[in-house]
Amino acid sequence: MFKKILIANRGEIAVRIIRACRELGASTVAVYSDADRRSLHVALADEAYHIGGSAPGESYLKKENIIDVARKSGAEAIHPGFGFLSENAEFAEMCEKAGIVFIGPSPEAIRLMGDKITARKIAYDAKVPLVPGSEGAVSDVEASVVAGEIGYPLMIKASAGGGGKGMRLVRTKEDFESALRMARSEARSAFGDDSVYVERFVEQPRHIEIQLIADSHGNVLHLFERECSIQRRHQKVIEEAPSGFISAKTRKKMGDVAIRIAKAVKYKGAGTIEFIMDQKQNFYFLEMNTRVQVEHPVTEMITGFDIVKWMIRIAAGEKLPFKQGDIEMNGHAVECRVYAEDPATNFMPSPGTIEYLSTPSGPGIRDDSAIYNGCEITSFYDPMLSKLIVWADTREAAIDRMAAALKDYIVLGVKTNIGFLRRVMADEEFRQCKIDTGYIERHPELINPGERDIKPALIAAAIAMENSTVSGPQSQAAAASNWKLFARRVGVTRSPLA
Amino acid sequence: MTYTFKLNDQIFKVTFEENDGQIELEIEGEKLPVDYRKIEDNLYSIILDGQSITLGVFKKGKKIQVFLDGDLYDLESISEREQRKSSLAASGVQEIKAPMPSRVVKVLKSEGDEVTKDEGVIVIEAMKMESELKSPLAGKVRNVMAKEGDAIEAGTVLMVVASDTAPTE
């Protein structure tokens, strides 16, 4: 096992990895940008080093700076988390060359699965079902030929894409040309590469993915599926495990297929095969994420398997001590991503200072978070504040538990999606598992619920005004002793309680 | 004491009276007996008609944030004069400002273009996401300051829109 591990990330995932390292007895090295000096991962790590400016390009994406810190601090391994350099083959290679273990798959596997067209070809060769479409990037002429073959509706997607950029849904032949032009221009500005491919659009698709874990001794296991169909702006918001939709037969088929892909690229570490599924449980390969996934906790909750710890153990050469048949799933887990954003203005990010925070706890509740009272949510990074995860014995009970837990989640200072999440938990369609990736768009009432009783808010505001004008803390402050006031002025206090 | 609050362009009047430790609030003419306790600086417990309600409250100057049932309400305590001004805002001249440090991705309207209320006028990018800024009123674009690709600070004026009834410069 490693004695010292560098975490090349920030936010809740850095905190999650630090906790896993602690339990494994490894000391931890954090890296941070200008904006992150006060961030929780810096406080929790054993060592912390500044690596540059606040913009990710000046710090968390600076490969050389991070490797330098690893060398200087004597870290033997680097855990990249998700985002940033986690799927950067060049970085994995640089680690190798520097004699530092990259906690993840080989640079080759990252490269192969990172290019969507190559990944599709690997899946095709491994007899994995694919959405009908063009074999790779296409010219404008080829694109319209393929479009004619597969029919409408269809999707145009950027080869280098992700996060919904360079993606266009086309419903009719008439819209095809202009959609193709827009997809190319978006892809060019977002990724510097305007190659696109065309595929059939699956109506009312569900997003279902298989968690894989593979060691360096050729063992590949799947840890069942997660359903992540509740998305906004093509990003997941609510995830659950297992899916409340698929049959045991489909589950087994998906697991087998996912393992075939992993074996084809000699995969090692934790990875996820994402599928799109239609309403008849036909599933098609979407892509592979060659890293730990944001929503990994729901899998941990139903399997009891610590994915982050095992990523580290596998990187250190350990062998998985169990077989597929040893892994069972138990109960149901739901995760809600709590974002600093305003659902009412199309989920626009809401940066600011956390002025007050109160989080839920209790049986079966887990809050993977990196925020605290007084912490700053800057506009440099993803606005996710925390992931609230619950476990219970059935899907219904898990949703009830999540609804109850969300009632205890209070955040002041920035807008959040907590109210929206609460309304989803109460929504009949969600509770009956009638979900697909168009769910949020179909339910504007979850974003703007219309008439609400705001009397309590007005009462609270009046009380706050009254307290600040007549009596309250100010008048008490005036009664404080002159010595205390003197001490406050010069900034010397004996203890925090003084 | 009577307070006037602005919430999403709506005005509410709340009168706060304390008699013998009993609080009586009057909201828009409706009297409500309220029992309240401050649990922490930012956490109030209110009992209203037997309903126990816990709220988060953060006050900074005249701005008050209230967290109720998962949603955050941005209220502002305003004076009589400000109230008159704000009722004029829907018909007048409005600046569209950057809500956060960001980058201008696209300017959707040019000077003189017609806009409807809540129509998207500028696309900005921050925190890995694109967002659309909307026109607060129906009318015409009077000035465009934003240029595509600009890095902008929070509060930077990006565009000025004016309703047809607004006085010309």
Please indicate if any CB of chain B lies within 8 Å of the CB of A382: yes
Q: Name every chain B residue with its beta carbon within 8 A of the beta carbon of A414.
A: 72
Q: In what order do the strands lie in the sheet with B102-107?
A: B129-134, B120-126, B102-107, B151-152
- What are B43's two structure tokens? 């956490």
Task: Give the distance from residue A187's alpha carbon to the nearest chain B alpha carbon, in angstroms.
Answer: 14
Name the nearest CA neighbour of A210 among A269, A155, A178, A255: A255
Residue A46 contacts residue A29 (beta carbons within 8 Å): yes
Query: For residue A34, what is the DSSP state?
Result: G
Q: Where are the alpha helices (DSSP H) in A333-417?
A: 395-407
Residue A495: count of CB within 10 angstroms of its CB: 5
Quote helix, strand, coil % in chain A, to nearest 5.
40, 25, 35
Greatest Cα pair distance, chain B, in angstroms, is: 61
Evaluated on CA atoms B68, B69, B74, B78, the torsion sign reads: negative
Separation CA A308–CA A75 (nearest Å):
18
CB contact under 8 A, A454 and B1: no
Query: For residue A135, what is the DSSP state?
Result: S
Residues with Cβ within 8 Å of residue A287, at least 6 apart in sequence: A113, A116, A119, A274
Separation CA A307–CA A19 (nearest Å):
12
Separation CA B63–CA A471 (nearest Å):
19
Q: Give the pLDDT of residue A188.
A: 87
Residue A220 contacts residue A267 (beta carbons within 8 Å): yes
Separation CA A446–CA A50 (nearest Å):
42
Query: Along the 169 residues of chain B, how does pLDDT read in single tens digits?
Result: 899 999 988 889 999 888 776 788 888 888 988 999 999 999 999 999 899 999 999 999 999 999 999 999 999 999 877 777 665 555 678 889 988 888 999 999 999 999 998 888 999 888 777 888 988 888 999 999 999 999 988 888 999 999 887 766 5
Name the nearest CA neighbour of A241 among A88, A139, A390: A390
Q: Name every chain A residue with its beta carbon within 8 A of the beta carbon of B38.
A: 467
Residues with Cβ within 8 Å of residue A282, at least 6 apart in sequence: A129
Give the amino acid at A145: V
Cα-based distances in Å from A404 to A121, A411, A420, B114, B136: 45, 16, 14, 47, 37
Q: Give the pLDDT of residue B158.
A: 94
Separation CA A284–CA A277 (nearest Å):
6
Residue A373 contacts residue A357 (beta carbons within 8 Å): yes
Please indicate if any CB of chain B lies within 8 Å of the CB of A97: no
Whole-structure pTM value: 0.83
Q: What is the mean pLDDT of chain B?
A: 87
Separation CA B78–CA B99 (nearest Å):
22
Separation CA A488–CA A492 (nearest Å):
6
Give the amino acid at A336: C
Separation CA A60–CA A421 (nearest Å):
30
- What are B89's two structure tokens? 């805002």
Question: Is A291 a residue of the active site?
Answer: yes
| Nearest chain A residue to B118, by CA | A345
Query: For residue A318, what is the DSSP state?
Result: P
Residue A197 contacts residue A133 (beta carbons within 8 Å): yes
Evaluated on CA atoms B50, B55, B59, B65, the torsion sign reads: negative
Name the nearest CA neighbour of A126 among A262, A308, A10: A262
Task: Give the distance from residue B113's alpha carbon to the nearest chain A alpha carbon, in angstroms.
Answer: 23
Q: Where are the alpha helices (DSSP H) in A304-381?
A: 307-315
Residues with Cβ within 8 Å of residue A222, at least 6 apart in sequence: A210, A211, A212, A213, A255, A258, A259, A324
Please indicate if any CB of chain B lies within 8 Å of the CB of A413: yes
Q: Give the pLDDT of residue A495.
A: 46
Distance of CA A422 to the CA centre of its chain: 20
Give the amino acid at B49: D
Q: Name every chain B residue with its beta carbon within 8 A of the beta carbon of A459.
A: 14, 25, 27, 32, 34, 36, 46, 48
Name the nearest CA neighbour of A383 among A423, A344, A338, A346: A338
Residue that is written with structure tokens 């892809």 in the block: A187
Mean pLDDT by 10 residues, chain A (498 residues): 98 98 98 97 98 96 98 98 97 98 98 91 94 86 92 89 78 92 87 89 95 97 98 93 98 98 97 96 96 98 98 98 96 98 92 97 97 95 97 98 98 98 98 97 91 91 83 42 51 44
Q: Give the pLDDT of residue A359.
A: 97
Catalytic, out of A111, A291, A337, A366: A291
Q: Give the pLDDT of residue B167.
A: 65
Residue B123 contacts residue B135 (beta carbons within 8 Å): no
| Nearest chain A residue to B43, by CA | A356
Q: Give the pLDDT of residue A483.
A: 53
Q: Name every chain B residue with its beta carbon within 8 A of the beta carbon of A346.
A: 131-132
Residue B87: count of CB within 10 angstroms of its CB: 12
The ipTM of this complex is 0.82
Task: Give the distance from residue A463's alpha carbon to the nearest chain B alpha carbon, in angstroms.
Answer: 8
Residue A133 contacts residue A150 (beta carbons within 8 Å): yes
Residue A199 contacts residue A251 (beta carbons within 8 Å): no
CB contact under 8 A, A457 and B129: no
Q: Which long-range contacts (CB under 8 A, 24 or more apart) does A110-115 make?
A: A110/A290, A112/A265, A113/A265, A113/A271, A113/A287, A113/A288, A113/A290, A114/A87, A114/A89, A114/A290, A115/A159, A115/A160
* Enclosing H/E stretch for A206: strand A206-214
Cα-based distances in Å from B152 to A352, A380, B31, B97, B149: 16, 13, 47, 10, 9
Calculated CA dihedral for residues B30, B36, B38, B44, nearest 10 degrees = -60
| Nearest chain B residue to A378, by CA | B127
